[in-house]
Structure 1
Amino acid sequence: MAVPGEKVTEMKRLPTAVPGLDEILHGGLFEGGVYILEGPPGVGKTTLANQIAYQAHANDGTKTLYVTLLAESHSRMVQHMQGQAYFKPEAVNSAVIYVSAYRELEQQGLKAVVDLVRGELARHKASLFVVDGLVVENQELGPDERIRQFVHGLQSVASAMTCTGLLLTSGGNRSLNAEQTMVDGIFAFEDYVYQWRAERRIQIRKFRGSAVERGMHTFCITDEGLRFFPRLEGLPWNPRADAHADERPVSSGMAALDDACVHGGFVRGSSTVVVGDSGAGKTLFALAFAAQASLQQRCLLLTSADAPGDLVRFGEAFSLPISDGIDSGALEIQWEPQEDEGMDQIGHKLLRLVDEFGSKRLVIDGLAALADTVAFPERGYRFIGRLLRELKARGVTSVFTLDPAALGSAAGRPSAEGLIAWFDNVLEMSQAVGAEDGRELAIRKMRGVRVTRTRFQFGCGAAGLTVS
């Protein structure tokens, strides 16, 4: 109980240094706290615990006591980590001390495990401990009261010795019930399977001491360990004051379209979606926009269908200097074939690439690639809205191409209309009536810009690219 007038010291954080996780936790774990990591076997709990241990030592010299109960052998665990970038062989049993408590568990029960943890922490002067392998369904562990006492004992050890503890459990169909009210945090992991695809997810069900990013977040396991992707639309909003300091218009790459806009082109930082059926000329329009890139207005082009070389040849067939932009460093084309990546994984990667390249122009050729993800049917509408908001905050002028049929097929529902509402500008491309090679470009919406005309002839025949 706090004494009136007594100064309350702020709790010390232990950053995990795991990409994305500290962002979800608003800074990391708390010193003296015990956290339950529960989820099915193979979801990544052991990898995460080891990753935190090795990276904590690399960052500030933290020692970790790693206690196994019914988990895999230490030698096997170390073998599995050999290919992980965070793993340091020289740290084994010097900075990360592995201890088996299987014998204590079998012969004397869970209380003996707590005593072992306490003694080994004192002996090695470790400030982080992991207890791996608590299988709740195992009847040999005793009734709930015994497990409750076990968790309470670990909590007492962590508090008294100013340590941070991780308790890894399979959970399964039976969670830790009463113990959940005692610990400082509960991280629930799941391997979600949807129509032949799988997506790893985490939910912070409880976290004492600070707010966290609520809801489900996706993560993946790579050669560098776990990487988390906070739900994009749930992140705190941090506007950039200088994002729109330059109010000059951005050329669309089509002189006739720019002339029709009283502003002289797209508003800087605006988003445009070019809608049309396959073969309508959307990619060609996107390439014309990308070809306007300069070292002051770098452009990043992401495509999931065409390889970069194919786009270069396609654009230059219509006299668009795509290769010149690439050679000068003004244009970067990234080929991102559709794989089993989560929607937030794609979104965070996209924003990272924009920041790294210093892009002020962005082209996403094929919005359906984002829709072909597990979570898109549920939250694609909000996700796209936040993604466009993040791009606008960076002062990035973006062009997306959209085939409604492809989007409906990928998303499993006709959701194009709802998504289009998020974009500042909506252009529609279609086959011109009565024209063999011509196409029509129509302005459906231009937010914040007055236009003098709304329809154009878009030609992409043997004579090259023409707009009139």
Structure 2
Amino acid sequence: MSESTTERPQDRIPTGVPGLDTVLHGGLLRRGVYMLQGRPGAGKTILTNQMCFHHAAQGGRVLYATLLAETHERLLFNLEPLSFFDTSRIPEQISYLSAFATLEQGGLKGLVEVLRREARGRQATLLVVDGLVTVEESAQSKRDFKKFIHELQIHANLVGCTILLLTSSSAEPVGPEHTMVDGVIELSDNRVGRQAERELEVKKFRGSSYLRGGHAFQITREGISVLPRIEALLQEPSRSDPCKTERVSTGITQLDKMLHGGLPCASTSVLFGPTGAGKTTFGLHFLDESSKAEPGLHFGFYETPPRLLLKARALGLDLDKKQKQGVVDILWHPPTERLLDGLGHKLLGAVRERGVKRLFIDGVDGFLQSATHPGRISHFLAALTNELRVLGVTTLYTSELQEMYSQEVKLPISGISSLVENIFFLRFVELRSKLHRMLSVVKVRDSDYDSSFLEYRITSRGIELADTFQGAESVLTGDARAVSPPRRKKGLLKKRSR
């Protein structure tokens, strides 16, 4: 029988950095030697100190050795505004050591001896060497540099100490240090057009699986928070699909009849339509059916909560009362510079925390506008949609069509039709020199439905449907034509009666 490689919880050193332990599947491995690399300003110092203060808060001891980095006074001054910084941990649990003079006088051998002695004397369980590039420049050969790292590995194994080595991004694709350490984490700050996005990637991690690829992160007053890429985190949904057969009301009686009872429970629908067609109005009707048993959430990008509530009142919907009762919640995100994965994590967090069962995402295009790499949007939405389904959430997206009148319909997001069970189209239609709004049900997966083209009117009582277009053709082109009913030929009824 082969020995199990599953790590026990005690074999891990949690970093305490939101999202990073998720990427690392639990944290760093105890006794490991890890390299944190990135260009100046990438966030290495903040990330490392955040780990150090969390480690100290958990009862650990830290030795932070600097080599030609900023002075300790300046370092602590820059860390002071961050919420994780705690002066009471210094120097009893976190000690800062300037080791450059030792390196200059005693070389790599002298540096190793000092690090070992100080780490033992302070009973450090986490050792940081900030400025590995200086060690490499001081080494007489690559062999000496590799020997230095090997000596640190021996120390880590003997005393159970985890070691972090901070360095600038290497000019070489793979330096000698990369082959020896147990893991490599790289921080970068990438420009896409005029927008910049910070990214963390685990390049190497011995002894454990991890989430591969780049993951966005942000630096705030709380420090660094990593946003694991949604499609990597949710390659598989977090639980099995309940596959419920119940129906969920849309909030519009006539539409429920067309759907033979409403939307399939825990399904995903998309409502396509041009600007002004009433997409948000349909969504507000859907949310108005929320209850304590089916809490609702509006997740939007364009209209503020006060404007949404004002619109609901004009439609005769009492979302104000439902919001005050905690039955409906509204989360608004202005479509400025947002992180795509940040939006995904905030949405899923709200759904899980509130037990949401009715979700209205007003403007799926807002996700597309937040993606620095638009090519990943279909994978992002697939992972997000699959997770919402298994959480038992009935979701309604809206998506804006650019063409108000056109025989050709271009979907704004490629492949979205394959991700959803139900598709509805809202169109403007001209008939007898008058503009009408028209609804059509295009798709309801694994279910029958009424495929009639129905006009809808937005009134003070909400949305009302009518069968105005039963005697018209070319409706989908936007330029409908009335068709006269066919004349019956003489004697036709007599022939049929025979």
Cα drift, residue 350 of structure 1: 0.9
Q: Per-residue displacement from partner, 1:357-398 (whole Å, max 9, x unpaired)?
A: 221111111112111124442211111000000100110111
Please tell me the residue identity of whatever aligns with 1:128: L
Larger displacement relative to structure 2 (427-436 or 226-235): 427-436
Alignment of 1:303-322 (within 5 A): 303-322=300-319
CA distance in 2, matches of 1:245, 1:155: 51
Whether the aligned pair in 2 keeps the contact of 1:64 and 1:126 (CA below 8 Å) is: yes
- Residue type matched to 1:360 in 2? K
Q: What is residue 57 of structure 2 aligned with on the other side?
A: 58
Cα distance change of structure 1 residues 328 and 245 upon mapping to structure 2, 3 Å threshold: farther
Residue 283 (1) aligns with residue 280 (2): yes
Q: In structure 2, which of residues 356, 366, 378 is the aligned counterpart of residue 381 of structure 1?
A: 378
CA deviations 1:323-380 (Å, max 9, x no partner) are: 1221221111111112333211211111011112221111111112111124442211
> Bigger radius of gyration, 1 or 2?
2
Q: Is the 8 A contact 1:343 1:376 kept in 2?
A: no
Q: Relative to 1, partners in 2 of residues 1:277 and 1:72: Cα closer, same or farther, differing over 3 Å?
A: same
- Distance of 1:151 and 1:186 partners within structure 2: 14
Note the alpha carbon deviations across 1:281-303, whole angstroms, 9 max, x for none.
11111111111111111111011
Aligned counterpart, 1:19: 18
- 1:78 is matched with 76
Whole-angstrom CA distance in 2 between matches of 1:292 and 1:9: 47
TM-score normalised per structure 2:
0.86
Once residues 402 and 154 of structure 2 are traced to their aligned partners in structure 1, the CA distance between those partners, rounded to angstroms, is 59
Q: Give the aligned partner of residue 340 of structure 1.
A: 337
Contact 1:218 1:228 in 2 (8 A): yes
Moved over 6 A (4+): 4-9
Stretch of structure 1 that moved more, 135-144 or 322-331: 135-144
Give the Cα separation in 2 of the matches to 1:248 and 1:13: 44
Give the Cα separation in 1 of the matches to 2:226 and 2:144.
Answer: 34
TM-aligned CA distance change 1:399 to 1:375, over 3 Å: same
Q: Does the 8 Å CA contact 2:67/2:134 hold for their aligned counterparts?
A: no
What is the count of residue pairs matched by the alignment? 456
Q: How many angstroms apart in 1 are the aligned matches of 2:60 and 2:378?
A: 43
Q: Judging changes above 3 Å, is the alpha-carbon distance between structure 1 residues 324 and 456 closer, same or farther for their aligned structure 2 residues? A: farther
Q: Which runs of 5+ in 2 are unaligned?
A: 404-409, 467-498
Q: State the partner residue of 1:130.
A: 128
Distance in 2 (alpha carbons) for counterparts of 1:114 and 1:231: 38
Q: 1:151 pairs with 146, 149, 152, which one?
A: 149
**Residue in structure 2 matching 1:90, options 88, 91, 96:** 88
CA RMSD of aligned residues (A): 2.5
Kindly state the Cα deviation for residue 27 of structure 1 after the two structures are TM-superposed: 1.2
Q: Write the distance in 2 (CA, Å) between the matches of 1:397 and 1:330.
A: 15
- Would the aligned equivalents of 1:362 and 1:396 in 2 still touch at CA under 8 Å? yes
Q: Distance in 1 between matches of 2:212 and 2:2?
A: 34
1:88-135 deviation per Cα after TM superposition (whole angstroms, max 9, x unaligned): 110011111111111112222233222221111100001111111223
CA displacement at 1:83 relative to structure 2: 2.1
Partner of 1:410: none
The match for 1:397 is 394
Confirm or deny that 1:37 pairs with 2:36: yes
Q: Matches of 1:177 and 1:48 in 2, distance apart?
A: 23
Partner residue of 1:223 out of 192, 212, 221: 221
Q: Is the 8 A contact 2:371 2:377 kept in 1?
A: no
The range that moved more, 426-435 or 171-180, is 171-180
Contact 1:135/1:171 (8 A) holds in 2: no
Q: Structure 1 residue 238: deviation in Å?
A: 4.6
Picking from 340, 352, 356, the partner of 1:355 is 352
Question: Residue type of the partner of 2:337?
Answer: D
State the alpha-carbon separation in 2 of the partners of residues 136 and 149 from structure 1: 15
Contact 2:5 2:207 in 1 (8 A): no
- Aligned counterpart, 2:366: 369
> Are the aligned partners of 1:114 and 1:150 in contact in 2 as well (CA < 8 Å)?
yes
Distance 1:26 1:52 in 2: 16
Cα 1:253–1:103 shift into 2, 3 Å: same
Contact in 2 for aligned 1:136/1:174 (Cα 8 Å): no
Counterpart selection for 1:326 from 323, 326, 330: 323
Q: Which stretch of structure 1 is more off in the superposition, 151-160 or 61-70? A: 151-160
User: Helix, strand or coil: the match of 2:415?
Assistant: helix
Partner SS for 1:155:
helix
CA offset digits 1:233-278 (Å, max 9, x no partner): 122535435x73864311111111111122x111111111111111
For the residues of structure 2 that align with 1:450 and 1:6, how far apart are their CA atoms? 54
Deviation for aligned residue 1:453? 3.1
In structure 1, distance between residues paired with 2:6 and 2:417? 50
Contact 2:270–2:422 (8 Å) recurs in 1: yes
Q: Scaled by the length of structure 1, what TM-score is found?
A: 0.91
Kindly tell me: are residues 86 and 80 of structure 1, through their superposed partners in 2, closer, same or farther at Cα, counting changes over 3 Å? same
Tell me if 1:418 matches 2:400: no
Secondary structure at the aligned position of 1:372 is classed as helix
SS in 2 for 1:269: coil
Q: After alignment, is 285-294 or 77-86 more displaced?
A: 77-86
**What SS does the corresponding residue of 1:433 show, helix, strand or coil?**
strand
Instruction: Name the amino acid aligned to 1:294.
Output: S
The share of aligned pairs that are identical, in percent, is: 35
C-alpha separation between the residues in 1 aligned to 2:269 and 2:305? Answer: 22
The 3 A distance-change label for structure 1 pair 10 and 423 is closer
Give the conservation status (yes or no) of the 8 Å contact 1:190–1:201. Answer: yes
* Secondary structure in 1 matching 2:387: helix
Helix, strand or coil at the partner of 1:62: coil
- The counterpart of 1:300, out of the listed 297, 300, 324, is 297
Cα pair distance change 1:7/1:294, threshold 3 Å: closer
Instruction: Give the CA deviation at 1:437.
Output: 5.7
